[in-house]
Every structure is written in structure tokens, then in C-alpha cells.
Amino acid sequence: VNITHSNSRVSAVLPTGESIEVLLYGATIISWKDAAGQEKLFLSSKAQLDGTKAVRGGIPLVFPVFGTAPDHAATAALPQHGFARISRWEFLGRSTSESARTTDDGDSSVKLDFGLSPSNLDEESRKKWPYAFGLIYSVTLGREGLTTSMVVRNEGESAWEFQVLMHSYLRVDDISQVSISGLESSSYVDKLTTPISTTTSPSSALTIGSKTDRVYTPAGGPSAPVVVTEGGAKKFSLVRDNLNEVVVWNPWTDAVSMSDFAPADGYKNMICVEAGAVKGWQKLEAGETWEGGQIISL
Ligand code: TA6
């Protein structure tokens, strides 16, 4: 495995060619390529990569709140999706918890750890969410796919609660050829209706023909795969651990109103399938730890 680390990014390449690139800003994975060098994530050509704004694409991290929660006192003051994706994380190195290492040119996977704690936050975020916490985000690049997992620890003396989500922008060739299975007959919140409504999806796979913004609680539970196919061929299969929700988002032609979304018709080349714990709140007592993650297989 070849790991390079600059002051802004960490990248890793497996001997078989698979690679990832992680921006320390937000611990945002901005590139994930397969052995043939095919990019698997959508990254807007106008994404800000200089730490001035959350990255439009890749896999931004949402913590401690999904969206905004005006009626949730503890997080009401935070910006949309919280501070994790707009803070500078620390690279903790290649995870020692990796399975026994083979010789360097035989590595079939690499696991990189990133950390965030109050000392990494700007004054504003610390003031708006004054709790003692520790996050360890692990990214595992393997030959069969990408695993991202989060450990959340309450380092304080009192309980607090959070939401967490991995906001994955998956790259597709043509959204009109995409179908998503694993969300059938499931309860979902449609954020595009007023008032926001909760309804049950049909027994057929989901296709995307207009702006879509839904929070599903898949009936099959976290271990049942959510599969993105394109033109009948499987592109991504996502299983979860301890993340009960799957958000599906495509801005459609509203993309034109996002200054950092380019090209404007780039909505045809992406689908956000976001694993998260965002319905209600995860409560952590002092000293407690929570863990959750996703495996995206190709
Ligand atoms: O992906 C779900 C969502 O909450 C959408 O409602 C949309 O707001 C999207 O996140 C992007 O949010 P952002 O703050 O990155 O523009």
C-alpha cells in the first residue's frame, strides 16, 4: 500500500490500483477509484476544496445534527449538517486494528483513521455545541469496496445526543438509467411535501425522475443491501451497521441554484445514497461509546 500525507490530504493506493483521497477538511473522501482507475464518487467541478465551505461531493460527514433542528435546543444553533464536515480533522495514521498485514505489496486493504475532538473545533462551533466528545472515523479501502465507520464517544460528565450520517455522492453515468432496490415497502419521510409527510414506498424499486429528498427506514434493516443499478447492471451495494436510515437525494434541476454545483446538469451523474442514524437522536451517557458504519461494495 502506498500512503501519502500532505498537510491538507491523505491518499492511499493499493497494489492492485484502487485508491482514495481524503481531505483533512471534514475528513471528506473526495475520490475513490476502482482498480481500473474509474472514479466512483461525484465531485462537483466547483466544489470548494480549500476549507472555506463543505465539499459539494465525495462523502461529507454529518454530525451532530442532520439538516437543521430548530426545535432541538442543544443543536438548534449549529449550521446545516453540523460541524464535522467543516472542521479540520487529524490524520491518526494507518489503523493498527487492521487484520494481520501481508507483505507490503500483498496488501488487499488499507484502513486509515481520522480524529475530531473539541480541540479541533473553531470557537464558534465549540460555543454552539459545548460538549466533550471524541470522534474516530475509519476509512477502509479494499479490493471489493469502501467501508466507512464512525466511533462517537461522550468524554464529558453528562449525557448528550446526536445524529450522524455519511453523505455519499455516488457517481452514475445517467440518472435516468438508475434504479435503487432495498427501499421497497419501507417507511420514508418525503422532505419535498408541505407539510413534510411520512409514507410507505411501493414494492417496486425506486427510480429518479425529478428532485428527490427522502429519509427511508428500510424495512429489511441495516444488513439488507441497498443496491444501485444502472441499465440493469449493479453499480453499488450498500450495507449498514447501526445506521437505520438511508437518505436518497438528487437536486435535479435545482442544482443550478447551488453556486458550488457544477456542471449544472451534473445532477444526471450523481445520486446521494446516505447511510445515517437521523430519525430521532442517539443518546450517549457520560463515558459511553456508539459505533456505526457502512460498506459500499462495487
Ligand atoms: O441530502 C439530504 C440533504 O439534507 C438535502 O435536503 C440537501 O439539503 C442536501 O442534504 C445538501 O445539503 P447541503 O447543506 O450540503 O447543501
Q: Average of pLDDT values for 262-281? A: 98
| pLDDT (0 to 100) of residue 104 | 53
pLDDT in tens, 189-209: 999 999 999 999 999 999 999
Say if residue 96's pLDDT is above 80.
no
Decide whether any atom of ligand 1 lies within 6 Å of the 81 Cβ.
yes
Q: The domain that contains 82 carries what CATH number?
A: 2.70.98.10
**Rounded distance from Cα 65 to ligand 1 centre (Å):** 12
Banded model confidence at residue 141, pLDDT cuts 50, 70, 90: very high
Centroid of ligand 1 to alpha carbon of 275 (angstroms):
13
Active-site residues, by number, are 167, 274
Ligand-binding site membership of 9 (annotated): no
Whether ligand 1 lies within 6 angstroms of the CB of 245 is answered as no
Q: Annotated binding residue at 80? A: yes
HEC letters along the chain: CEEEECCCEEEEECCCCCEEEEECECCEEEEEECCCCCECECECCCCCCCCCCCCCECECEEECCCCCCCCCCCCCCCCCCECHHHCECEEEEECCCCCCCCCHHHCCEEEEEEEECHHHCCHHHHHHCCCCEEEEEEEEEECCEEEEEEEEEECCCCCEEEEEEECCEEECCCHHHEEEECCCCCEEEECCCCCCEEEECCCCCEECCCCEEEEEECCCCCCCCEEEEECCEEEEEEEEECCCEEEEEECHHHHHHCCCCCCHHHHHHEEEEEEEEEEEEEEECCCCEEEEEEEEEC
Please give the distance, rounded to the nearest whole angstrom, from the Cα atom of residue 191 to the centre of ligand 1.
Answer: 11
pTM of the model: 0.97
Q: How many domains does the chain have?
A: 1
Ligand 1 atom showing the smallest separation from residue 249 Cα: 1
Whole-number Å distance between alpha carbons of 207 and 250: 11
What residue's CA is closest to ligand 1, atom 13? Answer: 80
Mutate to test the pocket of ligand 1, among 81, 166, 216, 260 (most ligand atoms within 8 A of CB): 81
Range of the structural domain that residue 232 is part of: 1-297
The stretch 245-250 carries a mean pLDDT of 98
Summarised one tens digit per residue, pLDDT across range 153-180 is: 999 999 999 999 999 999 999 999 999 9
Question: What pLDDT shows up at residue 101?
Answer: 54
Q: Whose CA is nearest to atom 14 of ligand 1?
A: 80
Residue 126 marked ligand-binding: no
Percent of the chain whose predicted confidence (pLDDT) is above 70: 96
Q: CB of 277 closer than 6 A to ligand 1?
A: no
Per residue in 100-126, pLDDT tens? 555 555 688 999 999 999 999 999 999
Q: Is 8 in the pocket of ligand 1 (CB under 6 A)?
A: no
pLDDT in the model for residue 99 = 55
Query: How many angstroms is it from 218 CA to the middle of ligand 1?
Result: 20
Quote the pLDDT of residue 95: 84
